[in-house]
Amino acid sequence: MTALQIATISTARHYRLRNFGAIAPRYFADFIVFDDLKKLVVRQTYKKGILAAEEGKYLASQRALVPRPRSTMNLHFKAPEDFKARLNRGARMRVIEVVPNQIVTRQTIETPRSKGGPVVPDVERDILKLVVVERHHATGNVGVGFVRGFKLKSGALGSTVAHDAHNVVVVGTNDTDIARAIVELVKMQGGQVAIQNGKARAELALPIAGLVSDRPLKEVIERIAALNATARAMGCALEASFMTLSFLSLSPIPELKLTDQSLIDAVHMWPTKLFA
């Protein structure tokens, strides 16, 4: 009962929403009907006193109108030039190390792999390239780093769900698939995508601010399952690969994160360089 109060009347009172949070005179008749306080299986949903859904089915004659904000896919970048990490001779490299099922990361120092030029991903050692591209104001900011823990053997995974700024974040084994992931995300007006050999193998469009789908829940669930299955088929060992990816740019969370401007040492809260 306390949890229900927190989710309804307590929150409404805190934010001074005087017509929400309770079933009483002068309150909007927005409420759900269920028959068990422990299982909380929703039987009916009412909106302003009108039955809107029953037993999981939407009953209105037409779909709810979803407000469409302006496009938030405003990118400016040059591929693959902006994705290159120029090697400092003799330098070692900071790598973000994923902690499975956690949003915190570790920092490791590794010897970079290079083919006589820029640093390249090292699939054998599970050191993949991580790219963050600013997508709201077309600033041209591109952050480049490296991450261990995804274990992809080929391809790239990309998302516009990337806390907190929600820029484009892509992890990949090569620049070609990384660039392709960004192109596909722009086409979808945001979302999540798995790319292999230059082709989209699975995708979920999130055209509402690059964060929300306009498709039915059942379809969204199926597409999320397909994305995770495709990531596993590409070698990813993480249980929730896209969830993990979405937190790699969350700069306040230790220990090392990547934003569109630079790597962030989240222990000391200052920018840091790729090469140690």
Residues 41, 65: Cα–Cα separation, whole Å: 26
Residues 115, 82: Cα–Cα separation, whole Å: 18
Q: Are strands 156-159 and 191-196 parallel, antiparallel or unpaired?
A: antiparallel
Q: Are strands 263-265 and 270-272 parallel, antiparallel or unpaired?
A: antiparallel
Residue 64 has pLDDT above 70, yes or no: no
The mean pLDDT value for 29-47 works out to: 91
Residues 204-227: tens digit of each pLDDT: 999 999 999 989 889 999 999 999
Residues 257, 267: Cα–Cα separation, whole Å: 10
Residue 62 has pLDDT above 80, yes or no: no
pTM, 2 dp: 0.82
Cis peptide before 255 (omega within 30 of 0): yes
- Which pLDDT value is given to residue 71? 85
Residues 275, 212: Cα–Cα separation, whole Å: 36
Residue 87 has pLDDT above 90, yes or no: no
- Which pLDDT value is given to residue 152? 97
The mean pLDDT value for 131-159 works out to: 97
Give the range among 16-25, 150-159, 164-173 with minimum mean pLDDT: 16-25
Which two three-digit tokens encode residue 142? 């591109």
Residues 150, 143: Cα–Cα separation, whole Å: 19
The DSSP code for 172 is E
β-sheet with 270-272: strand ranges across:
256-258, 263-265, 270-272
Residue 105 has pLDDT above 80, yes or no: yes
The DSSP code for 62 is S
Residue 70 has pLDDT above 80, yes or no: no
The mean pLDDT value for 67-93 works out to: 87
Residue 90 has pLDDT above 80, yes or no: no
Residues 231-252: tens digit of each pLDDT: 999 999 899 999 999 999 999 9
- Which pLDDT value is given to residue 89? 74
